[in-house]
Structure 1
Amino acid sequence: REATGLGRYTFAHRKDIARLVDLMTLSVADFLDRYFVNEAVKGALAFGGVIGSWGGPMSPGSAYVLLHHRMGEAGGVRGGWGFVRGGMGALSDAIADSARSAGVEIRTEADVASVDTVDGRARGVTLRDGSELRGRAVVSGTHPTITFRDLVGESNLPDALAEEMRNYRTRGSSAKVNLAISELPDFTAMPGTRLGPQHPECVISPSVDYLEQAWDDAKYGRPSARPMVDCVIPSTLDPTLAPEGRYVATCFVQYSPEKLAQGTWDEERDALGDRVIDAISEYAPNFKNSVEHRQVLTPVDLEERFGLIGGNIFHGEMSLDQLFSFRPAPGVASYRTPVDGLYLCGSGAHPGGGVMGIPGLNASKVVAKDLKPRSWARR
């Protein structure tokens, strides 16, 4: 049904089909070459085409990833990103408070052991402590692999879907380095440790070639010797996140393949933190000495702590064959699943990852429609 709808839309807008094909198949490097000549400008923009991706700026399809990170708006600015006052946890708290005000009961520290099915229909879940919860629908925001393989079980799935999920690609390439710093970076290009426009965020991605070389390391199971770093200092905009005179910085890092060719991530953890700090210090020489504490989260940590299989921040790769009507697999892209009463609402559903809530919004409409009492015409 989704494929048919997409086909009709494409036919009606067939004059734009070439642009659509370009967007979905071009590399972000080729895409930017059409509009820019300065390598520094292209480097500063190209990182948006590889965030969370198992690929480099010259990989086909990375142009779409750039668009994915520029869709929507924040604060009325198209393509803008926003800071959450109180930290990202405040966003979760706001959603939880809204749900509680509507009568929702929220349980934490309540791991789900299984989605329970009877005659092909989801009837509820069983928690790890043995408690059973029953309901008219089960809506899962976990990674699709966890939902189908671990909670439902392949024996309760159609063979085709079980096969699709075994082949679902969810390789991660990212790490996070969180830092407590004593002063703001003193950038060589824009000096000063007094709060200025250069401080809320800086990106270490000086050229497309720099990014591609970082990806080359990851392809062969090595953490990038010179990583791409997106460093955000949220306490510059929200002082409540750090003590007076101190700051917190969170660094999104690529590339960090989950599976290393040599060694383990426990052995490589400190080296990764050092490379990130060194990369920023190359542009802000005071940065290294300003670091008072650090936390390094590897792809293995992202999986173990947050259920991000493979360390993939999007619950699955954002490639053409895993988008739109194929996310996470054909036949389950409408938020409904072959298991009646079971729905998907996380980043593994259309339109994919990002702090936007669209998969959940769309799923809620589908669930509400399905649970709405049907009125039957009298004969």
Structure 2
Amino acid sequence: MTNHYEVVVLGGGHNGLVCAAYLARAGMRTAVLERRHAVGGAAFSEEVFPGFTFSVFSYGLQHLYPQIIHDLELRKFGLKSVAYGDLFSPTEDGHCLITNDDVAATSKNIAQFSPRDAEAYPKFVDFHNGLAVYLRHLGTEVPPDPTASTFRDVTRTLAFSWRNFGLRTKLFDFAELMTQSAEEYLSHWFENDAVRALFAYQAGIGNFVGPHSRGSALACLYNMLTDHSHEIPRGHVIGGMGTVSKALAASAQRLGVEIHTNAEVEHVIVDNGKLKGVATKDGREYRAGIVASSMHSKILFGKVVDRKHLPDDLLQSLEKFNTVGTNWKINVACNRPPQLKCLGSDSARPVSAFVHIGPTIDYLEKAYDDAKYGKFAQAPWMTVATPTYLDKSMAPEGKHVVNLYGGHVPYKLREGDWSSHRSEFIQTVWKVLDEFVPGFTNEIIDYQVLLPIDIENILNIPGGNILHGQMTPDQLFSRRPYPHYADYRTPIQGLYQCGSSCHPGGGVTGLPGFNAVREILRDRGKKRSPI
């Protein structure tokens, strides 16, 4: 059976849905092909145990580009979020550092650990926000190829330089971030180890780095980015992260997009050097002059596109793209929520919906060291998020769901394999929880464990890196996913990329899909863009 469209989008994750919706908004007949039984990719909710619904993979809304929310009317289609509120960071000596978006209140809490750091914190926030403005803007730019010599590429590079002329004042700051470790960067600001660890924690999210790793300062800053436009609160999405994908799908379908699930693409059809569409494993063909792929770059170029259509430089870069994942996730159904030891036992204690366990720089570094040598962390750092404090719909009355996310674990163990060591790793996680959240493991009803190998198998992400590839300086901007191919185009005319393998990278931003649309429409000569 053959179907005909103007555009076929490969992958129904949030980036693919964003791309499809905007292309349909531009008047193009568009279809989305999703390998799994439902859209969403990593932004996916599921009733894993009877009555218990989880954000199975990604678990918080922090980076979604506000214009996408507005343009696609996502609130109209059910997107609603609630701020997490306070972040609790317990220390090894029984204290707790509490932070939130209120700079003055956070400074007051930091003063209990270091008066000097309390004074430095507002300056740190201002400095960080100044850099964040530029990083958020760069996220919406199409990276130029500084090595290209064609007239079009040179003019685009010059235009990019002119648009971002103000960035020159921040170049030294960015140079430091790209070369410094998170520990070095944070030590310029703070003296207290618990305060430094609070921020250094961010570097390991999606990245196989420790706080002493070169370049981890930039990874730290990227994961600290949030959007303060107030288009929608950052935090927990009501109904879980699948609500984001459902809202995107509903918006896209209203615009005329056809969504096909259980449609795994087998190969891209290229005839006499021209793109003709794609074929799925069930024998169907979807003909189109434009194909936009949100699937992982290594899957697209390593399996779906015949290598004879690809140049040597891309194939070489394909092998170098670091997609190793070392983060894990455990989704827990429980009788009662975690209760931090450091908050005491009185009924008036604050609700701890969001907790970071990673009390010192050394604690974070040791977790990295263990995985570096092929072992899982003996004391893993972790986020403990309890969305049912904010959203009662996700569990039966009186029960709770808890998302545990942490690091590090090796993709492959040096000795043995995960089938024989999985239960040992889980006991290590429970041991850390019992130290900081005593009694919680006795309240567990059931749990789902997701290691990098599981993420790889379920989501078709090589290496199991939830960000599609590490967000380190060598894999960002004009080098993401590969040098010379960072502008969402590929060597095959009409074939584009629009997923997290591309700039600006992973996280639920929607920006790879958003940016790819502009380039697709530019190549089509569309004078009026929906963006």
Post-superposition Cα deviations, 1:137-166, rounded to whole Å, max 9, x if no partner, equal 111111100011111132210111111112
Aligned residue in 1 for 2:407: 254
Aligned residue in 1 for 2:239: 86
Q: Distance in 1 between matches of 2:170 and 2:163?
A: 11
Q: Would the aligned equivalents of 1:177 and 1:252 in 2 still touch at CA under 8 Å?
A: yes
Q: Would the aligned equivalents of 2:489 and 2:495 in 1 still touch at CA under 8 Å?
A: yes
Shift of 1:273: 1.9
2:320 to 159, 162, 167: 167
Distance 1:65 1:195, change over 3 A: farther
Q: Would the aligned equivalents of 1:218 and 1:256 in 2 still touch at CA under 8 Å?
A: yes
Aligned residue in 1 for 2:470: 317
Q: Distance in 2 between matches of 1:193 and 1:173?
A: 37
1:41 equivalent in alignment to 2:225: no
Shift of 1:122: 2.5
2:401 partner SS: strand
1:83 partner SS: strand
Aligned residue in 2 for 1:202: 355
Q: Distance in 2 between matches of 1:120 and 1:222?
A: 47
Write the letter of the residue equivalent to 2:431.
Answer: D
1:119 equivalent in alignment to 2:246: no
Q: Distance in 2 between matches of 1:313 and 1:334?
A: 22
1:340 to 493, 497, 500: 493
Q: Distance in 1 between matches of 2:163 and 2:187?
A: 29
Distance 1:374 1:368, change over 3 A: closer
Q: Would the aligned equivalents of 1:74 and 1:82 in 2 still touch at CA under 8 Å?
A: no
Q: Structure 2-normalised TM-score?
A: 0.67
Q: Distance in 2 between matches of 1:124 and 1:77?
A: 37
1:147 to 300, 303, 307: 300
Q: Summarize the alignment of residues 1-379 of structure 1 with structure 2, pairs less than 5 Å apart.
A: 1-3=144-146, 4-5=157-158, 13-73=167-227, 76=230, 81-192=234-345, 197-372=350-525
Q: Distance in 1 between matches of 2:347 and 2:513?
A: 41
Q: Would the aligned equivalents of 1:126 and 1:132 in 2 still touch at CA under 8 Å?
A: yes
Write the letter of the residue equivalent to 1:334.
Answer: D
Shift of 1:247: 0.5
Shift of 1:192: 4.3
Write the letter of the residue equivalent to 2:477.
Answer: F
Q: Would the aligned equivalents of 1:195 and 1:236 in 2 still touch at CA under 8 Å?
A: no
2:436 partner SS: coil
Q: Would the aligned equivalents of 1:139 and 1:344 in 2 still touch at CA under 8 Å?
A: yes
Post-superposition Cα deviations, 1:338-364, rounded to whole Å, max 9, x if no partner, equal 111111111110000011111111111
> Cα RMSD (Å) of the superposition?
2.2
Distance 1:364 1:152, change over 3 A: same
Q: Structure 1-normalised TM-score?
A: 0.93
1:95 partner SS: helix
Q: Would the aligned equivalents of 1:176 and 1:297 in 2 still touch at CA under 8 Å?
A: yes
Distance 1:27 1:137, change over 3 A: same
Write the letter of the residue equivalent to 2:415.
Answer: Q
2:259 partner SS: coil
Post-superposition Cα deviations, 1:14-57, rounded to whole Å, max 9, x if no partner, equal 44321110011111111110111111111121111111112111
Mark the runs of 5 or more structure 2 residues left unpaired by the alignment. Answer: 1-143, 147-156
Shift of 1:233: 0.9
Distance 1:306 1:82, change over 3 A: same
Identity of aligned residues (%): 38
Q: Distance in 2 between matches of 1:106 and 1:245?
A: 37
Shift of 1:272: 2.0
Q: Would the aligned equivalents of 1:10 and 1:17 in 2 still touch at CA under 8 Å?
A: no
Shift of 1:203: 0.9
Q: Distance in 1 between matches of 2:332 and 2:389?
A: 14
Distance 1:374 1:237, change over 3 A: closer
Shift of 1:280: 1.7
Write the letter of the residue equivalent to 1:301.
Answer: D
Write the letter of the residue equivalent to 1:342.
Answer: L
1:340 partner SS: coil
Distance 1:75 1:243, change over 3 A: farther
Q: Distance in 2 between matches of 1:357 and 1:105?
A: 19
Post-superposition Cα deviations, 1:323-348, rounded to whole Å, max 9, x if no partner, equal 10110011211111111111111111
2:499 partner SS: coil
Larger deviation, residues 187-196 vs 328-337: 187-196
